[in-house]
């Protein structure tokens, strides 16, 4: 079968690989569509410290079940599903606390283990999520869950004002989650196109920081108090600091990404404001169910969020183009079968 193999940074090609073997605990899936995300771009650029080469990329998946699953009437041959690309050991501190998304020994598809950019893959039934959605929608579920999980970590309610710094794929998921809950949602970015998409996804207000002061606008939007929750979805030292500086007293700050260099803080604000500083990693089953519910209700601009759908053979070329000009693309999906 054919697969997209990343052999070394910048060196990717469609190659022939062995068909997967299926154990009694696993299900064979025919892959239909795979989305690319920022971690795939980092892997392509050689900036993902978790990946080893060669590696088949891909963890945002829409696939079709090949054979019936005994005892699971919702998982029969021909059913379209998405899946959770993470593993969990069940023994580490995170797993014992019911937070398997942060498993100490997690292995994500396309990063620590070969991914889904191939014709067939195998997965265990508990990782599958059937839904009454199109292949494009199913392929968007996993990337949106990451932003949904960040909103859940921030304990967002409809009474909150939430600011999301960064409206890329993950930040857009947080915008959608916050808006779906009914919170006042402020989207912050440097790109007007991303901010327009954020409004369609649920943002009530937007701030373009190249044209206006984020601080002044947040003061205006919140009557001087600051947002109840700030979600940082960029990973820059200055935005890490801004989240702490701009959030309300006794507010919550959620970091999805991580800064690529050390961050110097005025730690007085942690104590003076009595802040909750939270990390957010991957997603839990309840995040998948929430995203599916939102998509089934038609509450997300699916077509606007996807900039390109291409064949597997076109993938090497578009990865090179994406690396050269990241702002040209939003969500890229690769069509298989």
Cis upstream peptide for 155 (omega within 30°): no
What's the pLDDT score for residue 320? 95
- Per-residue pLDDT tens for 200-238? 999 999 999 999 999 999 999 999 999 999 999 999 999
Report the mean per-residue pLDDT for the chain: 96
Rounded to whole angstroms, how far apart are CA atoms 49 and 9? 12
For residue 25 the two structure tokens come to 């605990």
For residue 313 the two structure tokens come to 């053979």
- Per-residue pLDDT tens for 256-275? 988 878 999 989 999 999 99
pTM: 0.96
What's the pLDDT score for residue 257? 81
What's the pLDDT score for residue 251? 98
Q: How would CATH label the architecture of 2-130+301-335?
A: Alpha-Beta Complex (3.90)
DSSP notation for 184-246: EEEEEES-HHHHHHHHHHT-SEEEETTTS-HHHHHHHHTTTS--SEEEE-S--HHHHHHHHHH
Rounded to whole angstroms, how far apart are CA atoms 232 and 224? 20
146-279 matches 2-130+301-335 in CATH topology: no
Q: Which residues contact 321 (CB under 8 A, 6 or more apart)?
A: 328, 329
- Per-residue pLDDT tens for 75-123? 999 999 999 999 999 999 999 999 999 999 999 999 999 999 999 999 9
**Domain ranges within the chain, ordered by starting residue:** 2-130+301-335, 146-279
What's the pLDDT score for residue 126? 95
CATH superfamily of 146-279: NAD(P)-binding Rossmann-like Domain (3.40.50.720)
Rounded to whole angstroms, how far apart are CA atoms 162 and 227? 6
Interval 9-25 mean pLDDT: 94
């Amino acid at each position: 079968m054919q697969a997209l193999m990343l052999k070394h940074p910048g060196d990717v090609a469609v190659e022939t690989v062995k068909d997967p073997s299926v154990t009694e605990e696993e299900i064979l899936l025919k892959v239909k569509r795979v989305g690319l995300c920022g971690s795939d771009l980092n892997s392509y650029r050689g900036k993902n410290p978790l990946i080893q080469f060669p590696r088949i990329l891909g963890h945002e998946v829409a696939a079709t079940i090949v054979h019936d699953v005994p005892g699971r009437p919702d998982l029969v041959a021909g059913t379209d599903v998405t899946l959770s690309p993470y593993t969990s050991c069940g023994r580490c501190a995170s797993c014992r606390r019911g937070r398997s998304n942060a498993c100490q020994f997690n292995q994500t598809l396309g990063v620590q283990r070969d991914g889904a950019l191939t014709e067939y893959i195998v997965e265990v039934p508990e990782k599958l999520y059937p839904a009454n959605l199109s292949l494009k929608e199913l392929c968007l579920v996993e990337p949106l869950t990451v932003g949904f999980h960040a909103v859940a970590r921030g304990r967002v309610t409809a009474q909150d004002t939430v600011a999301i710094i960064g409206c890329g794929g993950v930040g857009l998921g947080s915008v959608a989650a916050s808006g779906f809950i009914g919170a006042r949602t402020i989207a912050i970015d440097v790109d007007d196109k991303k901010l327009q998409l954020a409004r369609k996804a649920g943002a009530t207000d937007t701030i373009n920081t190249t044209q206006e002061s984020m601080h002044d606008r947040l003061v205006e939007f919140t009557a001087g108090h600051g947002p109840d929750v700030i979600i940082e979805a960029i990973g820059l030292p200055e935005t890490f600091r801004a989240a702490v500086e701009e959030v309300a007293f006794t507010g919550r700050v959620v970091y999805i990404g991580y800064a690529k260099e050390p961050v110097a803080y005025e730690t007085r604000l942690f104590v003076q404001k009595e802040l909750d500083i939270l990390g957010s990693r991957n997603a839990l089953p309840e995040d998948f169910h929430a995203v599916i519910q939102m998509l089934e209700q038609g509450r997300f601009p699916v077509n606007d969020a996807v900039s390109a759908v291409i064949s597997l053979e076109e993938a090497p070329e578009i990865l090179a183009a994406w690396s050269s000009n990241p702002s040209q693309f939003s969500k890229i999906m690769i069509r298989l079968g």
